[in-house]
Amino acid sequence: MTRRMLPVPPRDPFDGGRLVVTRLENLETGTVIEGRFDLGWVGRLTREQLDFVGLLVKHRANVQRLAGDIGIAYNTARARLDEIVQAVGGSVDEDAASDPSPAASVDEVLDGLASGAIDAARAIDHLRRRRG
């Protein structure tokens, strides 16, 4: 009888604090290793962020396709990715982060302009590149 494995919670579900793994076990051989093991960058993410990273890998880092598949705007997906980058210690280039995807439709560019995610000059530049 195999017991169902639960996913490792990346953060303490009660206060959101950092967790440390203290025991590893090989269920086939019975080998047990005890100590204090850091979860690394995974331990800095929420469950939702980890799920998003999994989807990003599944979609081969194509944020546009990921956004379409889960039914969110491209800019929302980029914002989530930017939060993950910051959580793992990276920096977000604000100019590059606000650029529309090369595959963004005219409607998506206009939505980005309307929401303030991109300015008029960027929208015009993107639309000209699409036309050319």
Tally of CB atoms within 10 A around 125: 15
pLDDT tens-place values along the chain, 132 residues long = 567 888 888 888 899 888 888 999 998 999 999 999 988 888 888 889 999 999 999 988 888 888 889 998 888 888 899 999 998 888 876 655 555 666 567 777 777 777 666 777 777 877 777 765
The secondary structure element, H or E, covering residue 81 is helix 74-87
Instruction: Output the furthest CA–CA distance in the chain (Å, rounded).
Output: 63
pLDDT of residue 47: 86
Residues found in the chain: 132
pLDDT of residue 53: 94
Say whether 11 sits in a helix, a strand or coil: strand
pLDDT of residue 101: 61
Nearest to 118 by CA among 69, 127, 51: 127
Q: Are 100 and 118 in contact (CB under 8 A)?
A: yes
Quote the pTM value: 0.60
Amino acid at 10: P
